[in-house]
Amino acid sequence: MPHIAPWFPDAKFGVFIHWVLKAVPGPDGGMVEWTPGKRREQAMEQASRFTAADYDPREWARMFKSWGAKYAVLTTKHHIGFTLYDCPEATFSAATCSPAGRDLVAPYVEALRAEGLKVGLYFSLPDWSHPDFPSLTGGRDPDKYGDHDDPVRWQRFLDDMFAEVRHLCTAYGKIDLLWFDGDWERSAEQWRTLDLAAMIQELQPHVIMNNRLRHITLGHYGTPESAAPLAAPQGWWEFCATPGDNWDGIRANQNLKPVSELVRMFGDTLGMGGNLLLNVAPDAAGGIPECQVERMAGLGSWITSHAEMVHGSEAGLPAGLFHGFSTHKGGVLYLATYDAPRDELVVKGLQSPVKRVTHLRTGRELAWRRSGGRANFGKAGWLFIRLPADLLDDHATAVRVEFEDDVCEVASPQGRTLKWKGRPDLTEQAVAAAR
C-alpha cells in the first residue's frame, strides 16, 4: 500500500455509526428477525418506516467532537443492501425506498468537515438484497447463495458494487477513511478486491482503508472486533466495539457498560498504541438514544480532560511494569491507574533520572521516591509516586513523569531497553489544540 499521512494513529478515538434498517422496530416494538429467503421483503417493509425525521448530522458532529473523537465512520450500506447514499446502481436506498427521500451521506460528510473531523465511510461488500448477489454455490441461505455458479449474474453484481464504491469516492469530495466489511463471504479473487483497491487509490489517493478486503496485501490497519486483543497487533490497528452487546437496533440500548468500563476499554487500547472505534446506533428517525449519548459523553469527558496523554501519543510501558495503562510522547511518560492505589503508585523498569511528577489533570506536583536498583550498573528499581485521595479521578487517574534531559529509558521484561527522547509541547495552547 502507498504511504499515507499518519493522522490515523494519532487520532486514538473515533465514533462508529451503525444506522441501518434494524433501527426500525417490528410491529410489536421488538427487533425484526429476518427470515432467509424473505430478507428483501422484510427489509422493504422496514424501509417504509425509516424516516430520518430527526437526522441532524451537525449535532452529531458537534457531539462527536465534544467526546474527543477525531473521526467517525458511517454505515453507508450494511449487509442487507439498504444504502444511505443515492446513485443509479443503488436501487434500494433511503432516497428511493424510504420516507427520508434523500441522500443522507452528503450532509454527514459536510458536518464532519465543518467540525474538523476526519470522514469515514463503511461499505458492506455483500448485498443480500441485490438480485444477482446469490449467484455462487456455498450454502443453503437463498439470499446469499444459489444452486450453481452463474458468472454472468456475478459480474452484474460486481459492476454495481464497483459503481457504488466509485460513487462514494467521487460524489463527496475527499474521503479520509473507507471501512469495508463482509469479505469473509467470498475470496479476494471473486470480490476482485485488488482491482477495487486500485480504483479507490486512483480516485482517493490519500484514503486510509481497513484490512477487510480479503487479501493479505490490502489495508492500512487491523480491526480486532468486540474482543480486545491481549497484546498489541503489528502496525496500525483499531479496536471496534459497542457500549453494549449489539451493534444496531433497539438491542444496542441494552446492557450498556458503565462509563468506568468504557474508560478501561479505551485505556487498554490506548496503552497498546491502538485506536478505539466505539459505536452508536441511531434510531429510525436519526436520533441517537440518550442512554448511548450519556455513556459516550462520560467517556468523552475523561478523554478531553486527559487529551495530553491521548492524542498523538504512542504505546507506553511493556506489560508487567505498571498496574494500569501508560503512553508516552517523546521522553515524557504518562501513567494512569483505574483503581485507587493502596498507598502509592509503583512503576518498575525506569532507568532515567526523574525530574518531576505531576497530576495530569490539575498540574499539581506529586511527591515521589526511588527504591532499589543499582544505578551504576544500569539496573532499575522502583519508582513510588504519592497520589493524594483528593486527586483520584472517578474512572482513571493520570500522572505525568518528566525526566532529566528529556529521555525516558525503560528496561523491558523481554531484556530489551527502550529509549524515548524529546519533549512534547506542553503549553496550554498545545494541550487545548489536542482536545
Per-residue pLDDT tens over the stretch 31-50: 888 888 888 999 999 999 99
34 and 159 together in one domain: yes
What confidence score (pLDDT) does residue 427 get? 59
258 and 326 together in one domain: no
- Please list, in sequence order, all residues whose beta carbon lies within 8 angstroms of the beta carbon of residue 50, skipping any fewer than 6 positions away: 21, 23, 24, 82, 94, 98, 99, 100, 284
279 and 359 together in one domain: no
Q: Cα 259–265–269 angle (5° rounding)? A: 145
Whether 2 is in a domain gets the answer no
Altogether, the residues listed in the chain come to a count of 435
Whether 128 is in a domain gets the answer yes
Site of grid cell 422493504? 44
327 and 244 together in one domain: no
Query: Which among 249, 282, 305 is the end of a domain?
Result: 305
Whether 330 is in a domain gets the answer yes
Whether the pLDDT of residue 261 is over 80: the answer is yes
Pick from 179, 68, 55: nearest CA to 117: 68
What confidence score (pLDDT) does residue 170 get? 98
For all residues of the chain together, what is the average pLDDT?
93
Whether the pLDDT of residue 242 is over 90: the answer is yes
Pick from 168, 169, 176, 228: nearest CA to 69: 176
319 and 300 together in one domain: no
233 and 169 together in one domain: yes
Q: How confident is the model at residue 2 (pLDDT cuts 50, 70, 90)?
A: very low
Whether the pLDDT of residue 225 is over 80: the answer is yes
Which comes out higher in pLDDT, residue 415 or 374?
415
Whether the pLDDT of residue 1 is over 50: the answer is no
Which pTM value belongs to this model? 0.95
Whether the pLDDT of residue 143 is over 70: the answer is yes
- The CA distance from 209 to 220, in Å, is 6
52 and 197 together in one domain: yes
225 and 318 together in one domain: no
Q: Is 229 exposed, middle or buried (0-12, 13-18, 19+ CB in 10 A)?
A: middle
- The CA distance from 375 to 379, in Å, is 6
CATH (domain of 272): 3.20.20.80
- The CA distance from 213 to 222, in Å, is 11
- Please list, in sequence order, all residues whose beta carbon lies within 8 angstroms of the beta carbon of residue 416, skipping any fewer than 6 positions away: none
192 and 338 together in one domain: no
71 and 113 together in one domain: yes
Most distant CA atoms of the chain, gap in Å:
76
Query: Which among 305, 325, 359 is the end of a domain?
Result: 305
Chain centroid offset of residue 291 CA:
20
CATH (domain of 412): 2.60.40.1180
Whether the pLDDT of residue 3 is over 70: the answer is no
- The CA distance from 100 to 48, in Å, is 9
Query: Which among 305, 324, 358 is the end of a domain?
Result: 305
Whether the pLDDT of residue 328 is over 80: the answer is yes
294 and 336 together in one domain: no
43 and 162 together in one domain: yes
Tens digit of each residue's pLDDT (9 = 90 or more) over 273-314: 999 999 999 999 999 999 999 999 999 999 999 999 999 999
Q: What letter represents residue 137's amino acid?
A: T
Whether the pLDDT of residue 130 is over 90: the answer is yes
Whether the pLDDT of residue 82 is over 60: the answer is yes
> Structural domain tally of the chain?
2
Distances (CA, A) of 243 to 212, 252, 255, 299, 427: 23, 8, 8, 10, 34
What confidence score (pLDDT) does residue 64 get? 98
Query: Domain span at residue 360?
Result: 314-434
